[in-house]
Structure 1
Amino acid sequence: MKKKIVLAGGTGFIGQYLEDKFTATGYEVKIISRQPQHIAWSNQAGIISALDGAEMLINLAGKSVNCRYNDKNKEEIISSRTKTTQILGNALLACGSPPPLWINSSTATIYRHAEDRPMTEENGEIGTGFSVDVAKAWEQSLFDYQLPRTRQVALRMSIVLGAEGGVMEPYFNLVRFGLGGVQGDGNQMFSWIHIEDVYRAILFLQERTDLKGAFNVSAPHPVSNREFMKQLRKTMNRKLGLPAQKWMLEIGAVFMKTETELILKSRWVLPERLEKDGFQFTFDTLEKALQQIILKKQAIS
């Protein structure tokens, strides 16, 4: 019988990467999503059937935060995370043979704006504001479930970098058009992780049956926004990069229907638990990550 994993909300940049990786290693990948070819969120029997006998559940579901934070979008951002997590928790309780591991996405934005020191799982300070409220509600909806046969892990993910999509394309465009300078004062920290290391961290957590709880999924060497843009210009061989001051970003965010917090919040996060437990990053430095991404983009373009 073929090995099976379940990807919930698995149609985005990260989900597609994971689907390709797990399929290539012999897994049958069941996807729960709003798209018609997959298991619907309303199909409880189908979700229970998919989870029964699976090795792992990975939940990535949630409305993108790349939007204006009006009341309607705020409600959708929170409910799309908590309600889907609750649907999965209830389905696991109904399973005859539930997966031994449930990995639920979370976000490194749970920590406060930090320019003074890095945030770890043990010593990080939880922040305030809407995006933090989302992260707290998301994790609570996971850990509210008492599941004796299933380990629960929350991935506090930093900004995921990869050639196939995600945040890289907008940054590439800024650099291409000579606008790849600092954003704001450039001192805000940029915690990141290469998508291959997201996949490898999931495999690591699957193997380590003694591990549970929240994990910072972030490369061990975060950089400032200034350093990130400098490295990106260097990798793309572009010398000129005009800066974007805060007031310019505020105006641009309105036109682009997004929020400046996504660029200006200082996320300074270290993967203390993963490293203490022996995980080793393939892309531990930004230089390595950007070189691989640029080369891969050139190969597929």
Structure 2
Amino acid sequence: MKYKKIILAGGNGQLGKALAEHYKYDTDEVIILSRKPQTDKGNIKTLVWDGRTMGDWAKELEGADMLINLCGKNVNCRYTQKNQEEIISSRVEPTTLLGKVVDGLMIPPKLWINAASATIYRHAEDHPQDEETGEIGYGFSIEVCKIWEKNFFETETPNTRKVALRISIVLGRNEGALPRLINLVKTGMGGHQGDGQQYVSWVHEQDVVKCTEWLLQHPEIKGVLNCTAPNPLKNTDLMKELRHACGVPFGLPAPAWMLEMGAMLIGTETELILKSRWVVPKRLLDAGFQFQFEKAEHAIKDILSIRI
């Protein structure tokens, strides 16, 4: 199918690059809204915005097939007051601004996908969490997710369908969690973290890309969707799969106390590692979406085979 225009707000990160690469072949124009100027590449054009104020970029949303908002400060940091404020504002301010722009357009985007997070659910080791029966957790990261989604849905856009995509850990080639985990494995530190029993919900970056196009082609789907592979696995099993894929027979485990010390040294939070995220994509599966990578072992091997 040929598209006229796809807008990627905050599209310079891991997912944004994968989305731009995918859509450039079947779209007249892919527009990235970025805080930093970039050289245009073929039909991929970058427009500078600050995520807070109106500008000439706003008119480019007119007549777009789809708007995907990926804005948000990386949560891989210590939750100081300053970082907490930036984590929230970097999500809420662009979402609010885009809502105002979309509301004022003559021909607004047909679909607006806002990145959200599967971490909104509670720590779960007893049963999986889905969109219908999942229980919302507590703590700072969950409050961020709640504020983010509330802000997204409270703006009425009668001519633009909205989907909040609760994305799990994205496995990709050169950025995100996977390269860091592979480095641990290769240095002999690829054992389980904590007790290793916490679940890890993950998704291949190409399945996220595929999901956005599937949503564009299914106008009956709206609201909240979990975007995570259907087969989460425990941390100990994930690390085992990574060691196997890298040909490393053994990895030293990292107990919780060691992780806390390490997290303080490198400026992150142990929650990112120790929270059990057992999330499943019930709505996507019920509606017939087919994941290309359902098992972690296949996703890891695919990514390692093309990693550069």
Matches within 5 A, 1:252-271: 252-271=262-281
Aligned to 1:25: 26
* Local SS of the residue matching 2:297: helix
C-alpha contact 2:53 2:97 (8 A) present in aligned 1: no
Aligned to 1:76: 86
Question: Counterparts of 1:263 and 1:224 in 2: how far apart (Å)?
Answer: 11
Question: Counterparts of 1:79 and 1:294 in 2: how far apart (Å)?
Answer: 35
Aligned to 1:16: 17
Aligned to 2:201: 191
Question: Counterparts of 1:9 and 1:64 in 2: how far apart (Å)?
Answer: 12
Question: Counterparts of 2:284 and 2:161 in 1: how far apart (Å)?
Answer: 16
Question: Counterparts of 1:24 and 1:180 in 2: how far apart (Å)?
Answer: 38
C-alpha contact 1:216 1:271 (8 A) present in aligned 2: yes
Question: Counterparts of 2:57 and 2:102 in 1: how far apart (Å)?
Answer: 9
* Local SS of the residue matching 1:209: coil
C-alpha contact 1:9 1:32 (8 A) present in aligned 2: yes
Following TM superposition, the consecutive aligned residue runs of length 4 or more in structure 1 with deviations greater than 4 angstroms are none
Structure 1 residue 278: Cα displacement: 0.4
Can you give the 5+ residue segments of structure 2 that lack an aligned partner in the other structure? Answer: 39-46
C-alpha contact 1:8 1:31 (8 A) present in aligned 2: yes
Aligned to 1:3: 4
C-alpha contact 1:191 1:219 (8 A) present in aligned 2: yes
Aligned to 1:117: 127
Tell me the TM-score normalized by structure 1: 0.97
Structure 1 residue 173: Cα displacement: 0.5
C-alpha contact 1:189 1:225 (8 A) present in aligned 2: yes
In structure 2, relative to structure 1, the CA distance for the partners of 1:265 and 1:108 (3 Å cut) is same
CA-atom RMSD in angstroms: 1.2
Aligned to 2:214: 204
Aligned to 1:294: 304
Question: Counterparts of 2:150 and 2:238 in 1: how far apart (Å)?
Answer: 33
* Local SS of the residue matching 1:124: coil
Structure 1 residue 32: Cα displacement: 1.2
Aligned to 1:98: 108
Aligned to 2:41: none
User: What amino acid is the match of 2:49?
Assistant: A
Aligned to 1:66: 76
C-alpha contact 1:47 1:91 (8 A) present in aligned 2: no
Structure 1 residue 95: Cα displacement: 0.8
Question: Counterparts of 1:67 and 1:165 in 2: how far apart (Å)?
Answer: 16
Question: Counterparts of 1:164 and 1:213 in 2: how far apart (Å)?
Answer: 31
The answer as to 2:186 corresponding to 1:176 is yes
C-alpha contact 1:182 1:226 (8 A) present in aligned 2: yes
Tell me the TM-score normalized by structure 2: 0.95
Question: Counterparts of 2:217 and 2:242 in 1: how far apart (Å)?
Answer: 34
Moved more, 78-87 or 160-169: 160-169
C-alpha contact 1:155 1:214 (8 A) present in aligned 2: yes
Structure 1 residue 43: Cα displacement: 5.4
C-alpha contact 2:10 2:71 (8 A) present in aligned 1: yes
Aligned to 2:145: 135
Match of 1:223 among 233, 237, 258: 233
Structure 1 residue 94: Cα displacement: 1.2
C-alpha contact 1:39 1:46 (8 A) present in aligned 2: no
* Local SS of the residue matching 1:243: coil
The count of aligned residue pairs is: 298
